[in-house]
Amino acid sequence: AGCMTLAAAHEPAPATRGACATQSYASAHGASSSNGSSEEAPVAASKSQDEVEAGTHICAAAAAAMQKPEPVAQSGRRHALIAASAALLLPTAAASIAAPPAAIAAAAAAPAAEPATVAPAPPGVDLTITSKVYLDIGIAPTALKPSEERTLGGATAIPVEDAQPVGRIVIGLYGKHVPSTVNNFLTLVRAGVLTNTTFSRVLPGEYIQAGQQGTYKMGQVQLKQLELPPNTDTSSSAAFKLTHNRAGVVSLSLTENDDEPKVKSRPGYSNCEFLITTGPGPVPRLDGLNIPFGRVLEGQGVVSRITQVPTFRANERTSAMNRFAQSIGDDRALSVRRKYGRPFQAVIITAAGELPLDA
């Protein structure tokens, strides 16, 4: 209701943002999790906080855009956008934890077979596996430790001690096809900087993603003094030839990268975020934009188990509002979108290392 008042009057009242946030908060208590089950109390608080923040940002984005002076030539287009979105925006601007489609949920619940034989490589692409690494995975009941346990001097706010082991993912790397990407990934594994970091995004039917840079305390990759050389594969057209056509494709996240702008602006920044496709189908929107550099050899069932973790998902109306904010050029819409797929349970890489090729 607050957002529609803004659209009609173009003079947002001070309480508008709060109204939208209140609606988002209220929706949290009736929302279902992405795995279809009701949430436990420790998780509910973090859900409400994310939902309030998402609803507030989106309403603020629309309000700010409506206050901007606009040329007469653009005014008609902007009003048309507002009118076209009005039917979607009338109900509350609440974000909910929606259940994934039934087909995806069923696929996630079923035991996952290991990836089948690899399709023939495109001409000029060498899919020889030159290295093997493992990621041991644990899942904790909550995303963060209780506030009283998060001390200033504590090593991490992630409940590593509470993580229950769910298995190992073994990855084969294409060192001949994309040597720069593989060398950088091996550097991360050998230096131990992936250990006790978390998966930052879980999108059932598409991919799971890890390697987000930030602070180790929050379960993110902290390179410290580790320097990664520039990745020359990003400027090679051959590096983008492989597709995300099956479960278990391991790819360097370029378009899907969710590192914060302040992290990307650091001198010598080098992207180290990676994703693993979940299956059962392909993810063509990733093709030609991200760099596949390996495949899952063992543990695709562990990947499927991760997709069952409850995550933040915007409902249809909130998604429509976010698209509207993007269409009028408000950058805050992007900060909201970075929350999509955020797990409400910590999915932790409890150990990472290199394996012999014959293992």
Q: For residues 230-249, give the mean pLDDT.
A: 96
Residue 114 DSSP class:
P
Examine the pLDDT at 184 and tell me if it is beyond 90: yes
Confidence of residue 249 (pLDDT cuts 50, 70, 90): very high
Q: What are the residue ranges of CATH 2.40.100.10 in the chain?
A: 102-309
Question: Is pLDDT above 50 for 89?
Answer: no
pTM above 0.95, yes or no: no
340: left (phi over 0), alpha (psi -120 to 50) or beta: beta
> Tens digit of pLDDT for each residue in 140-165?
999 999 887 877 666 789 999 999 99
Among 56-60, 143-147, 199-203, 250-254, whose mean pLDDT is lowest?
Answer: 56-60
Instruction: Please say if the pLDDT value at position 90 is more than 60.
Output: no
- Find out whether 219 and 276 touch, Cβ atoms under 8 Å: no
- 256-293: per-residue pLDDT in tens? 998 988 999 888 888 999 999 999 999 999 999 999 99
Does the pLDDT of residue 45 top 50, yes or no? Answer: no
Residue carrying structure tokens 């001070």: 14
Please determine, for residue 251, whether its predicted confidence score (pLDDT) is greater than 50: yes
> What are the Cα distances from residue 148, in Å, to 145, 153, 157?
8, 13, 10
How many angstroms from the chain centroid is the CA of residue 129? 27
Structure tokens at 306: 């991760």
| Average pLDDT, integer, range 319-334 | 71
Angle between helical axes of 2-9 and 41-67 (0-180°, round to 10):
0
Whether the per-residue pLDDT at 94 is higher than 80: the answer is no
Burial code (b: 16+ CB inside 10 Å, e: under 16) for 79-90 equals eeebeebeebbe
State the CATH architecture for 102-309.
Beta Barrel (2.40)
Within the chain, where are the H helices?
Answer: 2-9, 16-28, 41-67, 72-89, 102-109, 179-191, 261-264, 300-306, 316-327, 332-337
Task: With cut-offs at 50, 70 and 90, classify the pLDDT of residue 336.
Answer: low
Q: What average pLDDT is seen over the chain?
A: 76
**Mean pLDDT, rounded, for 155-183:** 96
334 band by pLDDT with thresholds 50, 70 and 90: low
Q: Residue 342 above 70 pLDDT? A: yes
